[in-house]
Amino acid sequence: MPFQPTPAQAKAQAHAALRIGLGVGIRDDDGLWVAFAAETLSPDQLSQALALGGAEMIITHRRAETLKTAAYFGDVARLTIQSDADLRWIRGVADPATDLSTPMKGPFRSLRDGDPRAHRAAILLCKAAHLLPAAVMVRVQSAEGLSILTASEVLAQANTAHYNDIVHAALPMTVSNEGRVHVFRPDDGSAEHYAIEVGKIDPNKPILTRLHSACFTGDLLGSLKCDCGPQLRGAMAQMGAQGAGILLYLNQEGRGIGLANKMRAYFLQDQGFDTVEANHRIGFEDDERDFRIGASILNKMGVGNIKLLTNNPNKVARMEDMRITVSERVPLIVGENPVNSAYLKTKAAKSGHLL
């Protein structure tokens, strides 16, 4: 049949569908599932899923730890949904906002049999859509009108996008009159990323480089809860002072979980949890970012040797995994204040940042 989407295009359609409350078909070796994001599920959709029988709630092992229920498949837990469950119960299982006010959400019955690939795929799709990492799934005979993917396609496509420099133009900046901005667009429909050249780049020398993840609150609003804004401005200032550098501005807000989930993490931090604990309670890992994106963009720019401005050794390791030579790690220790001192201590103690 002509004009069928590629697997990458079908995956992008699935992200959009979940965000607007549509279901997505996921096929495994045993048949077809329809998955809904728990965050955007409607009462009618829940009623229809329950009427079909065998509806399941899928959460990550991190969220399962918080709810004190078993994740028999290691990374995901499959919970049965009782026939009288309502949307409030679904939201309560998925969203930690009410954990302290209503801690008793169970008892839960965790399933331990069957192939979990479709369930893993549903979680990956929810994460990529920057929704809560939780889904409601039900077996169906057909899913006419919905995007349909195979579980294998979703799992195999993780982190395989190609990045194209669709446009670049000169941009004089306060740190350098000779600046240039490149817009890199991935072919999988995910967010664009930006490469900012400061000064004149000499590809024959190690280039001072910063991989900076977007932080709306820190970069734009001047948030005191993190050190992102000072790091952005400090990196640009160093590049300007040295006459050259590349800042990769990667759209991976909130350590890759998106702004809405980052605000959920902030809400939990106000309740006394640190940044890592907050991410876990929502259902995410400590850090969901993919620094290989930065390496892919550097490769496209013909840059293979860098001096990396970072306090995060994981960035160095990911660059070297992607055959980018890191000739030097340049510390970037700026922006500590009384509000974020505990946050920075957590980054050092739990995430290995060299502060």
Which residues, in sequence order, are bridge partners of residue 80?
Answer: 56
66 and 100 Cβ atoms separated by less than 8 Å = no
Instruction: For residue 289, indicate whether it is catalytic.
Output: yes
212 and 292 Cβ atoms separated by less than 8 Å = no
Which residues, in sequence order, are bridge partners of residue 307?
Answer: 208, 328
Q: What is the DSSP string of 213-276?
A: E--IIIIIT--SSSSHHHHHHHHHHHHHHHTEEEEEEE--HHHHT-HHHHHHHHHHHHTT--HH
Q: Which of 80, 88, 149 is nearest to 109 (CA)?
A: 80
Catalytic residue from among 120, 289, 318, 329? 289
DSSP 3-state of 327 = strand
Could you tell me the CA-to-CA distances from 120 to 37, 117, 196, 275 in Å, in that order? 13, 5, 36, 24
Catalytic residue from among 117, 281, 287, 318? 287
Which residues are the active-site residues? 287, 289
